Structure 1
Amino acid sequence: MAKDGLKIVTIGGGSSYTPELIEGYILRKEELPIKEIVLVDIEDGKEKLEIVGAMAKRMVEAAGLDWTVTLTLDRKTALKDADFVTTQFRVGLLNARVKDERIPLSHGILGQETNGAGGIFKAFRTIPVILDIIEDMKVQCPDAWLVNFTNPAGMVTEAAIKQGGWEKTVGLCNVPIGHVKTASEKLGLPKEDLFFKFAGINHFHWHKVWDKSGKERTDELIDLIYGPNQNEDDNHLKNIHSALFHYEQIQDLHMLPCGYHRYYYIEDEMLEHSIEEFKNGETRAQVVKETEARLFELYKDPKLDHKPEELSQRGGTHYSDAACEIIASIQNDKHTEMVVSTKNNGTITDLPYDCAVEVSGVVTAHGFEPYNWGEFPNAGARGIIQNMKGMEETVIRAAIEGNYGAALQAFTVNPLIPGGTIAKTVLDEMLYAHKEYLPQFAEKIRDIEENQPETVQYVDELMKTNVKEKV
């Protein structure tokens, strides 16, 4: 820790989530001896950074704190002597997410931020940037902790630890928070009286639950949540459709699924809903753009000095508060129980030792100590998660090397992308669409531009119109 107080740097400081981050720090003012908060963004995010940065300053002032809030576009200088670095950036901004969703959906396959083709391309754009950030950190703040909640959080965290060599990395997700809330409500018990054990990878984990008497309540919760009276409102995820799971399948698991398992366990219904949104010009990215526009109009109000309730309508609410709690727990050796993405180290025996997994454990001054899970006794769960991890490792390799063959391999392995011609078609279209943010694939993209005029024309026309489908 810096002698005169903590310096916390946020990459992607112009995000609409930043007010929640500032609120989290303020709520922990007795635990966090903050001196300076630095909000960093890029030139394209300058306007949003200035708006949300001014609001952050108002929030700190209203709380009666003497913290300095600094706004900058100079990432390298900002990182100098940082104690904690949080990452919440989106390469290509929300327009890139629109392409991630609309291009695959125009071919009748899922387009989504962290799953399917969209998730793969978000990783392609993001992984080189996190590795660049780590190279700056090695020089500017070699002892800092990296707290990542940039999606796809699992792959970004794995790249940071395994390829970037930054062992002091913790990845975050807000999804387990909703599952804990649901279990508490269904059992009529405070969450403090329950013990949760999550295991898997980001947006692809399962969990078990016990009460204070030591009795496991997992199967009971499966009946309450996914039985004949299951309710779409139990989803707690505002950013994905609340289709109902097949009860018998969840019973067979003897584990509670992640909300994102809907994309795999009930793929047809989720895809149908996403295609309908696409046809109506209402993909999630388009909805989020409208939500963000309203939020930033609120943030412009010089009298607003607290987090508005409207922020909870964004799908990532609670991410920032979880990040603040991790920082407080490391700083104070609190041993807070949390669910994070971290290096496996044998926690899940079915997955590679050095990969990133998302598991329960405690946050200490020396980092995250996971609870041992062992193996998945259900062969169905074991098989699909090993397939998903193989896909993630292939995505990371393709992102770093700019390896087109590996990219096509990742598309083929992904359960949500049909193999063969459609995989290659969508891959080529998305490479062209995101060419500005994929310098590692420059040679292949030039080849597409020169030799595949139909690909170029299709993407250009699709992004000009509200609907152009092949479904």
Structure 2
Amino acid sequence: MRQFSITIAGGGSTFTPGIIMMLLDHQEEFPIRRLCLYDNDRERQAVIGQACGILLKERAPQMEFSYTVDPEEAFTGTDFVMAHIRVGKYAMREKDEKIPLKYGVVGQETCGPGGIAYGMRSIGGILEILDYMEQYSPNAWMLNYSNPAAIVAEATRRLRPGSRIINICDMPLGIMVRMAKILGISEKDLDISYFGLNHFGWWTQVKDKDGNDLMPRLKEYVRENGYDINIETDQHADQSWHETFLKVRDVYAVDPDTLPNTYLKYYLYPDYVVEHTDPHHTRANQVMEGREKEVFSAARDIIEKGSAKGCGFMADDHASYIVDLARALAFNTKEKMLLIVPNEGAIENFDPEAMVEIPCIVGKDGYEKISQGRIPQFQKGMMEQQVSVEKLVVEAWMEGSYQKLWQALTLSRTVPSAAVAKKILDDLIEANREYWPELH
């Protein structure tokens, strides 16, 4: 069986060990010859890189492993680039969340003003990696799940239309794991129909492999419990995620014909979200105090002991999704997967140029979209507003336009007025001087 060369862009991320653990778990179906970590933060990557090097030496000594800050070394001869970069790291995420909250507006990583700020930082980073790939490995695929995926996907559609990039998100898969747990079956046995934008979508159909309709059972559960269910290996088990999964009850009530993505709470209940958020201690602080400390502590422990036996690294949901996607492209498995792709009529009554999240069949030549037909007016209206936000952000980045970024913030459902949007924007500009293009 053919062996593959993988580059993980964002090698110093807390998610990198989980991806490597998942790759190790799937060596028989997806064998790897070479694995390279790439990051522009040398010190941060060195900790993760050293620990993963010890782990791989023990569990996969045949695999060639390296970590580097040199693009030529990282991207030459690679087959797949798995990209999960965070420009500005958690320090900037904290600002993304806390600045809007000063004005009584949702402060969240990918939704509203915080997502817009993060998107303005992410665009340049992803384009830079795509350009390295074009130079050093033009036949490689980028499997991108860097956030905010909707803005990044729109930017790559506009600015690198010929690039071999597939944009994905693990959140729908995480929800489907919960659906399967509710139903008492494996998520691999779910056959779904879904439409929307990234972090902004709805399931219209959930069946099992025999074609039995599972929606009535799921709706009965969600009406009372949302997606809240105990999953032993759940990596989002802290209190804020528990509350998010419970809040799905109220999101579902707005349209009980479909099942919603959890992120819709930020758009449908922004006042509730602000009321239940501590403006001085946000999700970024929870992550820095939780996963960030845990992963780096585990990595340093491995380095100190010189062994990864009994280490705290765990494979995770989004890592399994990325491996499934790579396998589908490598071995033409024709697996059905949710991807973020140009609409081009897949949703009949929606902007053909929008980057939508829909099921696709994935094989060696890329993906084939599965038509989702016409969508209801409620979802169509919400999506038209949100896709306009995303397009305006990308245009603002391309043109250095203050006006268009102000329009994007004003158009977000999370922001109450143009006056508030302007105040938030001016604060975000000050905080992001090191990262955003200059606006005029």
TM-score between both structures, scaled by the size of structure 1:
0.84
Change (3 A) 1:284 1:30: same
Match of 1:270 among 267, 270, 273: 273
Change (3 A) 1:202 1:234: farther
Q: Which residue of 2 is the match for residue 147 of structure 1?
A: 143
- Supply the distance in 1 between the matched residues of 2:73 and 2:162 (Cα, whole angstroms): 19
Report the Cα offset of residue 188 of structure 1: 3.1
Kept after mapping to 2: 8 A contact 1:7/1:84: yes
Match of 1:125 among 118, 121, 124: 121
Secondary structure (helix, strand or coil) at the match of 1:78 reads helix
Report the Cα offset of residue 408 of structure 1: 0.5
Secondary structure (helix, strand or coil) at the match of 2:320 reads helix
Q: Which residue of 2 is the match for residue 296 of structure 1?
A: 296
Q: Which residue of 2 is the match for residue 465 of structure 1?
A: none
Q: Does 1:362 align with 2:361?
A: yes
Runs of 4+ that moved beyond 6 A: none
Q: Output aligned runs, 1:321-336, within 5 Å.
A: 321-336=320-335
Deviates more, 1:75-84 or 1:391-400: 75-84
Q: 2:363 corresponds to which letter in structure 1?
A: T
Change (3 A) 1:328 1:298: same
Q: Which residue of 2 is the match for residue 201 of structure 1?
A: 197
Report the Cα offset of residue 352 of structure 1: 2.6
Change (3 A) 1:308 1:64: closer
- Supply the distance in 1 between the matched residues of 2:313 and 2:73 (Cα, whole angstroms): 33
Unaligned runs of 5+ in 1: 445-471
Q: Does 1:258 align with 2:261?
A: yes
Q: Which residue of 2 is the match for residue 413 of structure 1?
A: 411
Change (3 A) 1:363 1:205: same
Kept after mapping to 1: 8 A contact 2:173/2:321: no
Report the Cα offset of residue 144 of structure 1: 0.9
- Supply the distance in 2 between the matched residues of 1:323 and 1:248 (Cα, whole angstroms): 28
Secondary structure (helix, strand or coil) at the match of 1:300 reads helix
Count of matched residue pairs: 428
Report the Cα offset of residue 248 of structure 1: 9.0
TM-score between both structures, scaled by the size of structure 2:
0.90
Q: Output aligned runs, 1:103-122, within 5 Å.
A: 103-122=99-118
Match of 1:244 among 243, 247, 263: 247
Report the Cα offset of residue 193 of structure 1: 3.8
Change (3 A) 1:95 1:40: same
Report the Cα offset of residue 212 of structure 1: 4.1
Change (3 A) 1:308 1:100: farther
Match of 1:402 among 384, 394, 400: 400
Cα RMSD of the aligned pairs, angstroms, is: 2.4
Kept after mapping to 1: 8 A contact 2:51/2:308: yes
- Supply the distance in 1 between the matched residues of 2:147 and 2:286 (Cα, whole angstroms): 18
Report the Cα offset of residue 410 of structure 1: 0.3
Q: Which residue of 1 is the match for residue 14 of structure 2?
A: 16
Kept after mapping to 2: 8 A contact 1:23/1:306: no
Q: Output aligned runs, 1:13-412, within 5 Å.
A: 13-42=11-40, 45-207=41-203, 208-227=205-224, 230=226, 232-233=228-229, 240=241, 241-242=243-244, 243-245=246-248, 250=253, 252-274=255-277, 277-278=278-279, 281-291=280-290, 292-302=292-302, 303=305, 305=308, 317-376=316-375, 378-412=376-410
- Supply the distance in 1 between the matched residues of 2:412 and 2:43 (Cα, whole angstroms): 37
Unaligned runs of 5+ in 2: none
Change (3 A) 1:55 1:139: same
Change (3 A) 1:215 1:410: same
Q: Does 1:425 align with 2:428?
A: no
Kept after mapping to 2: 8 A contact 1:350/1:386: no
